[in-house]
Structure 1
């Protein structure tokens, strides 16, 4: 099973947005050396704790700093962009870094209503139609030619939010689905995707990428603590309406959480994989057996960047890349 990385360019206490972006680029260089298959960046707007707001720009910086690893987006959110512009951006990326660019596409909308208004979003956005239009620029079947995208094959992936699994199947595209959706919902979506998949020029058979946080450390407790900062940040966002910078787990665990915040904190930790190398190997193999995943997209964020890289190093050792 291929191992890949999604990095959200999270800020940390004492570390601002500019440094978080530079850390993302350096992190990509590190995981490339460990043999990871892809390195994707995300799109968030108006979120204080996340520096990644322009994924194609950041992807260009990552691709320029690396040599082998595939680089892409997880993903570009089509409700925020015109398909022509997205096609042109990925066309430029592929022209500069041929054969290394992925086009991960999603349908999530802005975090708050003011952000959605600033992005010019509409409730009537038709993701299926936007995806059709975007792909047509690469196949040269659109009414307008998108240079330099015309004739280029940039692998496209659909992020499974809402009806995303069905859309991916209908267009014959690989599916990216989060294990955090819940076990039953995830397995149902994967089953629907495989049973309704229509082969296309983009993909001849179903391809499933499962995304989840994975933390590996010398002890189970240390691995769990790696997940605490992001879980707390998610809980805080749901109770306060904004993502804070990541804090050290010691600070979080020493502070008192309100009951609702505690509930969200515990929910955020469910379904994530953590433990010693032996425990994580077993957990990943079980996840692969349940889902039939072709690839694992690791989404771990934490306060301690050194410990984070060590976790990714442990995981790469457990599932080494093959030529």
Structure 2
């Protein structure tokens, strides 16, 4: 089992000088202690996650302060980009990092984001699959034809040339058909338990592995990473105390997640009729539901039980989402415990037996 750090929830509305402190220090920590990657998202037009409008820019910054860790998008929303720019920007990062770029792609989902390319919203998934192939061809140095300013086709090759001959690709996925299509093209998978049950994830992983085999890819050479909110500490009560309000605020921002959770209670939720107390009750219920089932929050022993379940189901990597509003010092302290967990899963089996 590999471990990486995932960023998503940073507040872009503040004017503090140190708003990227957790990204920078977390990346340094991960690089120094054998983590596999750092994931940087693409978020637009919302304070929540607004620290991350362009993962390639932040990837370039991380490239200059790290030496070993992979620098990953989580994700490039490619219908909001031109594939030529994606190839150009990330090849710069690949050069700055000495060949450590790895990209996950997503089709996008929020219609307001598509003010950048409104004409692409209706066919965003088809465009994603098409443009992934274009980026990969450009990455390999091929010349492709695009329409120029005078309406004629122009043969274009992007620069600088990337150091990696083949761009490692992931697909950010929730739907069955996306898992299957990712297997068809031989891409890795990035997914999350927030929008689906663990049972659903495990079933989709099986579909993905079958698709890899059916399309001539070695399933052992392709990975499934699960993005999961993470905070580890030695005392469960202290962990819960430190994460509760930040995570409830996170859920409040993602109100649609709460509505899905509340559906399991067999009552309908009308946001227009909710009182402040109704909202607080729903937040409390949602927090308890996620805390007990869908996050990696607790003591190292508790977290290992969840990781064992993920590993048994075919998950290859825990992408630990660490920036959901918890105090910086507490997160850095939590990373020490996460490192211990990572080290536990990366020692020889004989040594692991002795640890017990």
TM-score normalised according to structure 2 size: 0.76
SS at match of 1:311: helix
In the other structure, the counterpart of 1:72 is 72
Residue-by-residue CA offset, 1:157-185 (whole Å, 9 max, x unaligned): 11113343122111111111212221122
In the other structure, the counterpart of 1:295 is 317
SS at match of 2:43: coil
In the other structure, the counterpart of 1:148 is 160
In the other structure, the counterpart of 1:33 is 32
In the other structure, the counterpart of 1:88 is 88
User: How many residues align structurally?
Assistant: 305
Please tell me the root mean square deviation across aligned C-alpha atoms, in Å.
Answer: 2.9
Contact persistence 1:11–1:17 (CA under 8 A): no
In the other structure, the counterpart of 2:250 is 234
Residue 233 of structure 1, CA deviation: 2.7
Residue-by-residue CA offset, 1:261-315 (whole Å, 9 max, x unaligned): 44544455441122212222222122211x2222211112232111111212101
5 Å-filtered alignment, 1:155-174, equals: 155-162=168-175, 163-174=177-188
> Match for 2:227 among 205, 208, 211?
211
In the other structure, the counterpart of 1:138 is 139
5 Å-filtered alignment, 1:1-323, equals: 1-8=1-8, 10-11=10-11, 16=15, 19-50=18-49, 51-110=51-110, 113-120=111-118, 121-125=120-124, 126=126, 127-141=128-142, 143=144, 144-149=156-161, 152-162=165-175, 163-180=177-194, 181-197=196-212, 198-199=215-216, 205-239=221-255, 257-269=279-291, 270-289=293-312, 291-301=313-323, 302-320=325-343
The 1-side partners of 2:216 and 2:74 are apart by 23
Change in CA separation of 1:206 and 1:69 when aligned onto 2, cut-off 3 Å = closer
TM-score normalised according to structure 1 size: 0.83
Residue 48 of structure 1, CA deviation: 0.7
Residue-by-residue CA offset, 1:196-228 (whole Å, 9 max, x unaligned): 11346x997332212212221121122233432
The 1-side partners of 2:166 and 2:180 are apart by 22
The 2-side partners of 1:273 and 1:23 are apart by 19
Change in CA separation of 1:57 and 1:237 when aligned onto 2, cut-off 3 Å = same
SS at match of 1:115: helix
Contact persistence 1:158–1:168 (CA under 8 A): yes
The 2-side partners of 1:204 and 1:284 are apart by 19
Moved over 6 A (4+): none
Change in CA separation of 1:307 and 1:149 when aligned onto 2, cut-off 3 Å = same
- Structure 2: which 5+ runs fail to align? 145-155, 258-275, 349-356
